Chain A
Amino acid sequence: MTQLNSRTKKIAIVAITLALVLGGGGIAFAYWTSSGTGTGVATTGTSTGLTVTSSAPTGSALSPGGPTQTVAFSVNNPGTGSQAVTSVVVSVASAGGAAWTAIPGCSASDYSLGTPTITYGTIAGGGSLLGSVTVTMVALGTDQDACQGVTVPLYFVAS
């Protein structure tokens, strides 16, 4: 009876440990793919949101059907753990991605953005990925005078 109890305890310990370990792994996975909130028992720290910074454009000023400007950007991982980046979306938009309506008669439709040039991958903690995007002004065939001299806002979303 004593031996039987001892064996039963060992099996129970193994079962509980297995459940805890496997269960813990499952909780950590759910946490890392979330938006960064929630609780869990992962032991590798918390995920920190990416940031995107950009440089001043290079190339001649835009004009209808005219030259192309290139805007270099950096996707930064301010956290301590590695983070995978699989997408960078750039748009002509105001802060927060809101529609750009500051200039009557001139809007995002007057401009065209190229596909961002970037090699997606994992960014180590404190590291960054570099990329660029091209911007042109579309010749719409209608009056686009309102766009003369305008600074065009770009909005980057990296994930």
Chain B
Amino acid sequence: MLALVVVLAIGSLSSSSAAAYWSSPAGSGAGVASTGVLSPPSDVTVPASSGSSVTVGWTASAGVLPVEGYYVTRNDGAVTVAACSTSPTSLISAGPCTDTVATAGTFVYTVTAVYRTWAASASSGTVTVVIAPYGGLDLGAAASFSALGSAVTSGGPTTLRGDVGSSPGVAVTGFPPAATSGTIYAGGATADSAKTAFTNAYADALTRVPTTHFAGDQNGSTFAPGVHQTGGAFALTGTMVLDGGGDPGAIFIFQVDAALNTAAGSTIQLINGASPENVFWQVNGAAGTGANSTFEGTILANGAITIGAGGTLIGRALAVDAITLASNTIRFTEVP
């Protein structure tokens, strides 16, 4: 019997040890986490109607997430394009922004807030854009002049196709050896009238709404017809092209809000119908072309104009201040 008790005791201990290894059947349960929301911008506004420069405004996203920036798109009812020089990878920190529209139409703008891989958008009402047709500048009485300034000085055998005049000064020097097929007006009513027409044309150029903006050296650039604006100086160290797109009436107006300078030997090429008669340079400062360069179009300078030695100007040099020439060729058309 003692043996039986011992065995039972051992058996009991064995059972206790088994309980210590008791593993549990798997159990399960559910839980949740919550994902936030990126708030879109609000109050996206545009004017009911506008010229080619449309101002788009909006109120910043009001959510707790720190918006990285915004991009803007414009939709004409069929196609959505980038606006305000923004894109999903080129954001602006806040509104408003100005969008330049090249074609008339009715548009809706959408402003999209971006936070990492999230985006949230809001759209504006419609804006009707009216693009005033732009023609060339009306040079009026200045149109017959190849060179017009407060004074005109030429060194060397410059040849000009049109009139030469000075106003309000009376100095026209260097003729001969310089020669012109037109008339020299050293002061006088004709020169004064031409200067007034020049002033009006310059003012008209300022009112034209830009269709593109550019900056820096334009070597290698090609421009389509339009009003092209730069807030700084214009520089050309090589060749730039004006492409008329097959339209012999294509107009090119350049608005340069500082000086204009081209390098020696630089060239402007006119192709596909572009004509020097339809190219205008409004320069808010002095203009100078490089030696032996070829420049195309009418220069209207709110300063002096200097044509580099041996350089060719196919167009006109019209300036508030003095004009300096040096063995140049100045004519109205490509063909002499």
Contacts and interface: CB of A to CB of B under 8 A. Distances in A.
A123 B25 CA distance: 13
Contacts of B25: 35-36, 47-50, 159
Interface string B107-124: 000000001111110000
B64 interface: yes
B35 A50 contact: no
B118 A54 contact: no
B133 interface: no
A32 B23 CA distance: 6
A126 interface: no
Interface in B10-37: 10-12, 14-15, 17-19, 21-37
Decide if the interface of chain A is mainly helix, strand, loop or mixed: mixed
Interface residues of B, number: 39
Interface in A81-99: 81-86, 90, 95-97
A81 B23 CA distance: 11
B38 interface: yes
Interface string B48-91: 00000000000000001100000000000000000000000000
A73 B220 CA distance: 67
A80 interface: no
B7 A154 contact: no
Given A62-B36, A149-B35, A49 B26 contact: yes
A36 B7 CA distance: 29
Contacts of A159: 23-27
A96 B17 CA distance: 34
B7 A17 contact: yes
A57 B34 contact: yes
Given A66-B36, A66-B65, A149-B37, A52 B28 contact: yes
Contact of B29 (A53, A69, A86, A145): A53
A10 B22 CA distance: 34
Interface in A39-74: 42-44, 47-57, 60-66, 69, 71, 73
Given A52-B27, A66-B65, A85-B24, A60 B14 contact: no
B132 interface: no
Contacts of A20: 11
Given A14-B4, A49-B27, A152-B33, A63 B19 contact: no
8 contacts: A21-B14, A32-B19, A73-B29, A77-B24, A148-B120, A149-B37, A156-B28, A158-B29
Interface of B: 1, 3-4, 7-8, 10-12, 14-15, 17-19, 21-38, 64-65, 115-120
